């Protein structure tokens, strides 16, 4: 959820004078792997999961593979059809976390206003550093060169007066490039671009806009805001503000944005899912992982969010509130299944699922009970869940399994808690 805040003209002008960078590490996972394995760097390379289990579709690819048509999110066999000789390597997230921290350390030499947008992307507000290091472009050039020299990987950097256009700028030229979008020139640079280039304009939204005759970012900017709101709800006004350069969101300091906002896991399934029972089995494993991680943090979720990707790679996300805060897998699973059944029409089989606990609170937060709640039952279930956590920590994940997990070991034989993929955080907090 978010709130649109009206600001006075003088406040707005002050915000418009900001200088913000968006630093995007190019082909991050693949670049790091090629750095450690110089013998493969001149070949098409992709970071992916086990091709036998189809866990982990293409997570990242190097520039050579990209030029051959390999896309993030597609199945490994599809990628290899486009790029014969494609070398796939398993992900090593600890390695990527290390490089992410090292890159952020370089940024800290120029500002303490740094906000992560996933492992490989950061915003940096350098407004207060211009007197020390020169223009925003000068600072971007220093960062670009230092990351290349000190870490051996490249970055693309956008320089602009707000976060949205800085992000857009970093996407315009890749790899190893800098793009500046000023307040005076953004209409000339940004407005001719496809609507889908704007942050949070996904395929479904782009399709709706196209049906309206809106095909560029300029089209969004010049469309009556009430028309966009009728078409897209609240997002219509948000996208109109983005397109018109009216994003005033601050760059949060890293320690302000690093607190846990949601906890989730996802998986690409070893086979396409064709029944509700298949979906439930996979969501069960994901729900147990999410619940266990919530308990590790001493948190409960008050809502759930699901992501469903079908066999055509189209995906949808949905979220809803839960009746009460919880870190029990049964509650999270029930919420996920309710969301799925309400929103998925089974036009195509399901290839990948993700599940998150959202809107987190501390485990001891007070809640309002209904007349029909039985708090004692929840206490018993929570004690049981914590006991299972203890057994798994001591004897391994497979020491305690649900009987239903044995129905199809191909679908349930993974441990997302220990082998989870780190996804970008949301722009809205």
Catalytic residues: 121
What stretches of 161-281 adopt beta strand conformation (E)?
A: 178-181, 262-273
| Residue tagged 């196209």 (tokens) | 210
| Cα gap 95→30, rounded to integer Å | 11
Neighbours of 368 (CB within 10 A): 6
Q: By the 8 A CB rule, do 69 and 55 touch?
A: no
Which of 386, 381, 286, 380 lies closest to 335, judged by CA? 286
Structure-token pair, residue 372: 């029909």
Does 175 sit behind a cis peptide bond, omega within 30 degrees of 0 on the bond before it? yes
Q: By the 8 A CB rule, do 174 and 156 touch?
A: yes
DSSP 3-state assignment of 421? coil
Q: By the 8 A CB rule, do 173 and 197 touch?
A: no
| Cα gap 356→422, rounded to integer Å | 12
Q: By the 8 A CB rule, do 242 and 164 touch?
A: yes
Counting beta carbons within 10 angstroms of the beta carbon of residue 4, is it exposed (0 to 12), middle (13 to 18) or buried (19 or more)?
Answer: exposed
């Amino acid at each position: 959820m978010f709130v649109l805040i009206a600001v006075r003209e003088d406040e707005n002008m002050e915000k418009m004078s900001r200088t913000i960078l968006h630093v995007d590490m190019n082909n991050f996972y693949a670049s790091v792997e090629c750095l450690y394995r110089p013998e493969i760097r001149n070949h098409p390379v992709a970071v992916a999961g086990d091709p036998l289990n189809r866990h982990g579709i293409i997570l990242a690819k190097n520039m050579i593979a990209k030029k051959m048509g390999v896309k993030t999110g597609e199945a490994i066999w599809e990628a290899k059809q486009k790029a014969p000789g494609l070398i796939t390597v398993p992900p090593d997230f600890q390695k990527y976390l290390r490089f992410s921290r090292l890159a952020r350390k370089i940024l800290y030499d120029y500002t303490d206003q740094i906000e992560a947008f996933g492992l490989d992307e950061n915003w940096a507000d350098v407004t207060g550093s211009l007197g020390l290091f020169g223009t925003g472009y000068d600072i971007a050039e220093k960062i670009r060169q230092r990351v290349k020299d000190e870490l051996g990987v490249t970055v693309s950097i956008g320089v602009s007066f707000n976060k949205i256009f800085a992000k857009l700028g970093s996407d315009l030229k890749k790899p190893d490039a800098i793009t500046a979008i000023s307040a005076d020139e953004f209409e000339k640079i940004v407005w001719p671009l496809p609507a889908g280039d704007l942050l949070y304009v996904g395929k479904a939204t782009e399709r709706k806009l196209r049906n309206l005759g809106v095909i560029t970012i300029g089209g969004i900017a010049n469309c009556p805001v009430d028309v966009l709101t009728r078409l897209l709800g609240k997002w219509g006004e948000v996208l109109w503000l983005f397109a018109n350069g009216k994003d005033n969101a601050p760059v949060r300091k890293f320690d302000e944005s690093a607190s846990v906002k949601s906890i989730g896991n996802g998986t690409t399934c070893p086979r396409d899912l064709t029944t509700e029972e298949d979906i439930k089995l996979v969501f069960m494993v994901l729900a147990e992982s999410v619940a266990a991680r919530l308990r590790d943090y001493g948190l409960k979720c008050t809502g759930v969010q699901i992501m469903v990707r079908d066999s055509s790679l189209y995906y949808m996300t949905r979220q809803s509130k839960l009746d009460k805060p919880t870190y029990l897998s049964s509650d999270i699973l029930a919420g996920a299944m309710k969301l799925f059944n309400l929103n998925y029409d089974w036009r195509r089989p399901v290839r990948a699922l993700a599940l998150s606990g959202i809107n987190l609170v501390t485990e001891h937060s007070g809640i309002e009970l209904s007349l029909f709640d039985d708090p004692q039952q929840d206490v018993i279930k929570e004690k049981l869940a914590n006991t299972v956590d203890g057994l798994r920590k001591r004897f391994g994940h497979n020491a305690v399994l649900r009987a239903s997990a044995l129905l199809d070991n191909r679908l349930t034989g993974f441990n997302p808690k220990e082998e989870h993929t780190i996804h970008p955080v949301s722009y809205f907090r």
